[in-house]
Amino acid sequence: MNKISGIIANIQHSGAILLVDIDVAGHSFSALLVESATSMDWLQKGNPVTLVFKETEVSLAKNLSGKISLRNRMLCKVKRIDRGELLSNVLLHFHEHSITSAITTRAVNLLQLEVGDEIEALIKSNEVSLMR
């Protein structure tokens, strides 16, 4: 599981759906949450939180240009590639955080990923959970 610490910058409500913006070292992230029956009183602007997301939810892009709907974009450096027959783990460096992406080995080959490459890691807002 990937974990990144940040501060809640903004919260928008629409019924039971929340769109939470989190600041991570000056970089903006979003989490789309569905409110549960129990109150999440810790979910307030200015509070520290931890963003949590699975390795399999981290897509990678090389030389990405143009507009894209994914708001969670991290410019990262490839630190290590553990190639498997079908699945590979790519260790990334984002600010002071280590992020892991689990993608197919075919995708690693298609992107021609190498250690030291600068790539973008992408995560949909609904794939990000928040913890206190």
For 102, the token pair is: 């689990």
The whole-angstrom distance between residue 81's C-alpha and the CA centroid of its chain comes to: 18
pTM: predicted TM-score of the whole model, two decimal places: 0.90
d(CA 101, CA 120): 11
CATH class of the region 2-131: mainly beta
The tens digit of pLDDT for each residue in 83-117 reads: 999 999 999 999 899 999 999 999 999 999 999 99
Domain ranges of the chain: 2-131
